[in-house]
């Protein structure tokens, strides 16, 4: 199994005068633990959450081979684990509950605060494995698992289809859509009205690193060209590799285009700008 990816967006604040800084992303393997809460000099935590209503040690995430568990160390507060792709599906982890198994492939852990809002972080679960449908009738010893286990009902798969759309619709090579283009392309989808660029980037990272196990391309040398920063090169290479694998192995096919919202048929030229006019719809 791959592991768990935990992402905590940051909005400032601090504990004891120490600023929280930018977003935090953790990668945990089976048997590893990440603690969350306000933290202190004597109570270190991996995910620091800034609100007086949150305990110094509010809880912990523990990774197993095929799922992850959430422990709630609070004596009074329940925590919610939402499935952002499940049409309101969620489960409640009551106070002092230890090792609650979380079944969702993509989860949002939500804690109440004193400000009338909530604090949340995201967890991408261990890679869900699906049996080969052609081998379901055989004995257990002869069954195989899918090389790329993708859930076609998940939001990350919708992002992958949007990435592949230009090359599915056009025979000639077309630039892979950028993250802002994907946000705009999916905006009219019922599940994507609030989709942000950061969420799309997280889904792309999850697809590349957990689902398809793509290694990041090497950084370009310093003289690779103006504006060709190493981060941009890695991001572009990752999206290109995702599309290449998805199309070569038939993971995304023409019938999957029906999952995308209708598009306006403006523009007839080629290139990335043409894709934006023809496939995003303004």
User: What mean pLDDT do residues 67-82 have?
Assistant: 92
Q: Are the C-beta atoms of residues 178 and 161 closer than 8 Å to each other?
A: no
The residues of the chain that CATH labels 2.60.200.20 are: 4-124
Q: Are the C-beta atoms of residues 260 and 278 closer than 8 Å to each other?
A: no
User: What mean pLDDT do residues 230-250 have?
Assistant: 77
Kindly indicate the confidence band of residue 265, based on its pLDDT and cuts at 50, 70 and 90.
low
Q: Which of 4-13, 78-87, 176-185 has the lowest mean pLDDT?
A: 4-13
What is the pLDDT, as a whole number, of residue 206? 86
What is the pLDDT, as a whole number, of residue 183? 94
> Is residue 135 pLDDT above 60, yes or no?
no
What is the pLDDT, as a whole number, of residue 35? 95
User: What mean pLDDT do residues 41-65 have?
Assistant: 90
The strand pairing partners of 37, in sequence order, are 48
| CA 17 from centre of chain | 31
What is the pLDDT, as a whole number, of residue 123? 92
| SS3 label, residue 158 | helix
What is the C-alpha separation between 3 and 31, in angstroms, rounded? 10
The strand pairing partners of 109, in sequence order, are 81, 121
What is the pLDDT, as a whole number, of residue 188? 92
What is the C-alpha separation between 151 and 61, in angstroms, rounded? 24
- Which CATH code for domain 4-124? 2.60.200.20
| Average confidence score pLDDT of the chain | 77
Query: What percent of the chain is modeled with pLDDT above 70?
Result: 70
What is the C-alpha separation between 202 and 93, in angstroms, rounded? 25
236, containing H or E segment: helix 230-248
Q: Are the C-beta atoms of residues 91 and 81 closer than 8 Å to each other?
A: yes
> Is residue 129 pLDDT above 70, yes or no?
no
> Is residue 138 pLDDT above 60, yes or no?
no
* pTM (predicted TM-score): 0.56
> Is residue 148 pLDDT above 70, yes or no?
yes
> Is residue 58 pLDDT above 50, yes or no?
yes
- Nearest alpha-carbon partner for 157 in 280, 256, 276, 275: 256
What is the pLDDT, as a whole number, of residue 234? 55
148 or 220: which leads in pLDDT: 148
> Is residue 96 pLDDT above 90, yes or no?
yes
What are the contacts of 215-221 at 24+ separation with CB within 8 A?
217/241
User: What mean pLDDT do residues 258-268 have?
Assistant: 71
User: What mean pLDDT do residues 143-150 have?
Assistant: 65
User: What mean pLDDT do residues 187-195 have?
Assistant: 88
User: What mean pLDDT do residues 165-187 have?
Assistant: 85
- Nearest alpha-carbon partner for 73 in 60, 91, 61: 60
Which residue in this structure is represented by tokens 């398809």?
A: 212
For 201, half-sphere exposure in the C-beta direction (CA atoms, 13 angstrom radius) is 13
206 or 18: which leads in pLDDT: 206
- Nearest alpha-carbon partner for 187 in 272, 134, 262: 262
167 or 266: which leads in pLDDT: 167
């Amino acid at each position: 199994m791959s592991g768990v990816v935990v992402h905590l967006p940051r909005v400032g604040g601090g504990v004891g005068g120490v600023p929280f800084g930018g977003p935090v992303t953790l990668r945990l393997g089976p048997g590893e633990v990440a603690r969350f809460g306000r933290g202190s000099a004597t109570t270190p935590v991996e995910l620091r959450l800034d609100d007086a209503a949150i305990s110094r040690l509010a809880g912990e995430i523990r990774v197993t081979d095929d799922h992850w568990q959430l422990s709630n160390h609070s004596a009074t507060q329940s925590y919610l684990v939402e499935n952002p792709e499940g049409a309101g599906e969620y489960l409640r982890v009551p106070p002092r509950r230890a090792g609650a198994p979380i079944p969702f492939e993509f989860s949002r852990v939500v804690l109440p605060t004193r400000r009338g809002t909530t604090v949340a972080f995201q967890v991408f679960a261990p890679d869900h494995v699906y049996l080969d449908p052609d081998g379901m009738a055989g004995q257990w010893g002869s069954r195989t698992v899918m090389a790329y286990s993708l859930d076609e009902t998940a939001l990350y798969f919708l992002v992958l289809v949007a990435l592949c759309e230009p090359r599915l619709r056009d025979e000639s090579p077309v630039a892979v859509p950028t993250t802002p283009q994907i946000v705009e392309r999916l905006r009219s989808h019922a599940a994507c009205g609030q989709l942000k660029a950061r969420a799309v980037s997280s889904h792309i990272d999850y697809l590349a690193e957990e689902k398809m196990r793509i290694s990041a391309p090497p950084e370009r040398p310093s003289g690779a060209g103006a504006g060709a920063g190493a981060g941009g090169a890695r991001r572009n290479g990752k999206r290109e590799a995702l599309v290449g694998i998805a199309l070569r192995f038939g993971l995304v096919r023409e019938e999957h285009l029906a999952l995308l919202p209708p598009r306006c048929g403006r523009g007839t030229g080629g290139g990335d700008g043409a894709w934006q006019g023809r496939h995003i719809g303004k």
